[in-house]
Structure 1
Amino acid sequence: MKTLKHISILTLLLLMLGCNASPQPIDYGSDGCSYCKMTIVDKTHAAEIVTKKNKAYKFDATECMVNFMEEFESSEIELYLSNNYSEPGTLIDAKKATFLISKNIPSPMGAFLSAFEKKTDAENVQADKEGDLYSWEELLSHLKE
């Protein structure tokens, strides 16, 4: 009986640990965008949604992720991630990021949208490349216009 109890506890712990939502690596040049189906190759603009059930949806650009969000209730999503323009290939929390829309920085889907982990990095790039800065909420409102 003790063995059955131990197995039950171990199984429950494994299930709980296995359900933690976490980013999944993007296989550049192989993974396809969940929204537009293009192959993801750009390490500065890719994005990812991870649901509470730990299902990852990968995107070639943050604008694809925003468009794809309409497929879900926000309560189903655990993580919104965008690649950090300052560190290509590094996913950051999109809700905490600063976004720059600059006609001088092309993105895969033509929205000229880049994400930055640090607002100061975004401001420095903006000083050189021009454009407008947005928080996550401001970006969502802007893209719906």
Structure 2
Amino acid sequence: MQRLKQLSIVALLLIFTSCNVGPQAINYGSDGCHFCKMTIVDKVHAAEIVTKKGKVYKFDATECMIHFMNEFDVNDIKLYLSNNYTEPEALIDATKATFLISENIPSPMGAFLSAFKTEAEAQKFQSEQGGRLFNWNQLLAHLNN
């Protein structure tokens, strides 16, 4: 009886932890981009979409994520994440990020697009590298034209 109780508790824990809806670590050098199929190697430009059901889609660049968004009903998406340019491998909320398009900062797919956690960080890089700043909605409009 005690053994059955222990197995039941373990089973419940597995059920609750397996339903965790959140980002997954990107395995650089082995994970592939869901849009362009390239291997994700750039640790400052990668991105992810996490659906409300917990499915994670990984991308080698934010621009790939944006182009792949047409595959979804936006109501099914829980998170849009981009790597923070100033902190390699750190995923940030893309809808709150500031983006810089600067031809002096190459990105994997040639859009010269980098994400920054704060507008101040983005402005600092803009003053050094040139380019144009965008918030999430402005970036969507710019890339979908």
Does TM, normalized by the shorter one, top 0.5? yes
Task: Give the counterpart letter for 2:101 in structure 1.
Answer: I
**How do 1:1-145 residues align onto structure 2 when only pairs under 5 Å count?**
15=15, 17-145=17-145
In the alignment, the residues of structure 2 paired with residue 136 and residue 129 of structure 1 have an alpha-carbon distance, to the nearest angstrom, of 20
CA RMSD of aligned residues (A): 2.0
Q: Which residue of 1 aligns with 2:3?
A: none
In the alignment, the residues of structure 2 paired with residue 9 and residue 27 of structure 1 have an alpha-carbon distance, to the nearest angstrom, of 31
TM-score (norm. length: structure 2): 0.89
Deviations 1:93-119 (A, max 9, x none): 000000000011000000000000011
- Residue correspondences, number: 143
Structure 1: which 4+ aligned runs deviate by more than 6 Å?
A: 7-13
1:33/1:58 contact within 8 Å kept:
yes
5+ residue gaps, structure 1, are: 1-6
More off after superposition, 97-106 vs 11-20: 11-20
Instruction: Name the SS of the counterpart of 1:67 in structure 2.
Output: helix
5+ residue gaps, structure 2, are: 1-6
Task: Give the counterpart letter for 1:81 in structure 2.
Answer: L
In the alignment, the residues of structure 2 paired with residue 96 and residue 16 of structure 1 have an alpha-carbon distance, to the nearest angstrom, of 29
Instruction: Name the SS of the counterpart of 1:40 in structure 2.
Output: coil
In the alignment, the residues of structure 2 paired with residue 141 and residue 130 of structure 1 have an alpha-carbon distance, to the nearest angstrom, of 21
TM-score (norm. length: structure 1): 0.89
Deviations 1:102-139 (A, max 9, x none): 01100000000000001100000000000000000110
